[in-house]
Amino acid sequence: MLEHIDDPTLPDDVAAVTSALLTASRLLVAVSVRSLAAAGGRVTLPQFRLLVLLGSHGETNLVTLADGLAVNSSTALRMVDRLALRGLVSRRVNPHSRREVLLRLSTAGQRIVDEVSTRRREEIAAIVTTMPARDRAGLVKALRAFTAAGGEPSEEEWERARASLGWA
């Protein structure tokens, strides 16, 4: 993990990219918080992340979900319990392994993901339209490489997953 972006042992390009992404991440966090607030504040940012992961993976077990969230299983279970009580996540016993519970995003959970994502998309589009057109193509290429390196599914992969679940 990079502790100091001004570390002279880092290559200049890594330090510059890290600095630019830290600045951009502040903006994206602000957009994320505003989009959650516009959806009535029904979920927290970590809960929304869980809903998004469930939406992109379809039905999954707790261990896989916890791994995707980079939290321990007990933390993921508490989050799932809260969201299930509110009807945002559904659970069922795995018919192939009765000891395992399978988790799935409910219709209400999908509605929240869609509302927040729409709001987020609109706000990001408004920001991007203020950028010079010549900068946009490079940004797309760089961000796709960045998200792929971080293991985040692309927007196209997310849409394919939603379509396969009948949510598109």
Could you tell me where the DSSP H helices lie in 70-132? 73-85, 107-129
Q: What tokens does 54 get?
A: 């469930």
Question: What pLDDT is recorded for position 25?
Answer: 93
| pTM, two decimal places | 0.74
Confidence of residue 3 (pLDDT cuts 50, 70, 90): very low
Short-list 83, 17, 14, CA closest to 54? 83
Where exactly are the structural domains of the chain?
A: 33-130
**φ and ψ of 22, to 5 deg:** -60, -40
**Backbone CA torsion sign across 157, 107, 120, 48:** negative
Q: Angle, to 10 degrees, between the axis of helix 155-164 and the axis of helix 45-57?
A: 60
Residue 137 in contact with residue 125, Cβ under 8 Å? no
pLDDT tens track for 53-85: 999 888 999 999 999 999 999 999 999 999 999
Residue 157 in contact with residue 56, Cβ under 8 Å? yes
The verdict on domain 33-130 having CATH code 1.10.10.410 is no
Give the CA dihedral 83, 49, 164, 114, nearest 10 degrees: 80
